[in-house]
Amino acid sequence: MIPVTRPYLPSKRKLKKYIDRIYKTGWLTNNGPLVQELENRLQEYLGVRNVVLVANGSLALQVAYKALDLQGEVITTPFSFAATSSTLVWEGLQPVFADIDPETFNLNPDNIEPLVTENTSAILPVHVYGNPCEVERIREIADRHNLKVIYDAAHAFGVQYKGSSVLNRGDISTLSFHATKVFHTVEGGAIITADDALAQRVRKLINFGIYGPDRIDGVGTNAKMNEFEAAMGLCVLDDMPKILDARRKIWEVYERELSGRYQLMRWNRHATRNYAYAPIVTDAENHLTDLLHRFHQKKIFPRRYFYPSLDTVAEYSMEPDILCAQARSLAARVMCLPIYAGIRLSEQKKILAETEMNP
């Protein structure tokens, strides 16, 4: 079987050394030494000012909304994983969907401003598959209307934009460290901000609003990362050069063999890649489903990611009759091919052999 992804597992020997440290200190959670070490190392690796580790990527988004005191409506993309919209609804916010650019797959800035109302408090774009959005244009729109910008950067770990981390853009960027991501901590996530006061507010929010041993300074939740997850993250971070090199080689084969036969994402020309995903787009949905059927017969399991377009989900959409045509079209025709460190060349050739049968 060839899955769409397979979590990277670092050296058991190295992981055991970190776990031995946990057993020695007896410190399992509540901002332990390994969490602090991982935050510091990630700040240096990513080139960002503040990294606040949390239990998962969804909580990262939810805490970000609270930290920025969002209210009412939030303009976002319908072409994303469910968490982008479901976290908004969970927090009592209303997603307002703006259609995407069919070539970059990201939220199209041209479609944002017409949707701004007196109830809009923020813009929530997604760096889809790690491909940076048009961050300058989004910032200009936000500044004109006094809106906050939160980037769902779940896929953009390590991506550089114009020479610095794309995570430095917006008021807050959030990351997911789920086991399937390029960098993972089994479960986990992070909140990134250049604003020190905002980072301090985030730290209180993830620990019930507790400011000190005998002081509660507002309402919060429990969103803390534990020491065992941080141990995994420290091991994986050591191996990032090897992981990225393996993924790059796999992606370059896909790009070489599939260009011209399938639509591929147009990557931001100012940005580096992290090779997180390998999306391809067919010319029609029935061709996609035929291709999936052939893959499954060969025990190859790509994924329709993202499907469906979130503006079609009644629980999320304020006005389901408003058509995000580009997002719906893309969601019906896109799939992500298997990509992970450890795919053998023979397996990739097997995958490519099935794509050659594209009608």
Does residue 358 have a pLDDT over 90? Answer: no
Instruction: Give pLDDT, residue 359.
Output: 45
From the list 277, 257, 263, the residue with the least C-alpha distance to 80 is 277
Annotated catalytic residues are 181
Instruction: Give the model's pLDDT for residue 156.
Output: 98
- Strands 94-97 and 300-301, sheet pairing: unpaired
Return d(Cα 235, Cα 357) in angstroms, integer. Answer: 41
Quick one: which of 121, 141, 125 has its CA closest to 133? 125
The pTM of this model reads: 0.96
Residues of the chain with CATH 3.90.1150.10: 240-355
- Categorize the per-residue pLDDT at 308 as very low, low, confident or very high, splitting at 50, 70 and 90: very high
CA distance linking residue 337 with residue 3, whole number of Å: 9
Per-residue model confidence (pLDDT) at position 357: 59
CATH topology of domain 2-236: Aspartate Aminotransferase; domain 2 (3.40.640)
pLDDT tens digits along 261-277:
999 999 999 999 999 99
Tell me where in the chain the CATH 3.40.640.10 domain(s) lie: 2-236
Question: Per-residue pLDDT averaged across 293-311, rounded?
Answer: 96
Higher pLDDT, residue 62 or 358: 62
Phi, psi angle pair for 280, to nearest 5°: -130, 150
Measured CA to CA, the distance from residue 119 to residue 150 in angstroms comes to 17
CATH architecture observed for domain 240-355: Alpha-Beta Complex (3.90)
> 27-36, 207-216, 291-300, 341-350 — which is least confidently predicted?
207-216
What is the arithmetic mean of pLDDT over 211-226? 87
Digit-coded pLDDT (tens) for 242-251: 999 999 999 9
CB 309 within 8 A of CB 79: yes
**CA nearest neighbour of 56 among 23, 75, 81:** 81
- Tokens representing 43 are 């700040």
* Residue 184, beta-bridge partner list: none
The answer to whether residues 177 and 190 touch, using CB atoms and an 8 Å cutoff, is yes
Average pLDDT, the chain: 96
92: burial class by Cβ within 10 Å (0-12, 13-18, 19+)? exposed
Q: State residue 320's pLDDT score.
A: 58
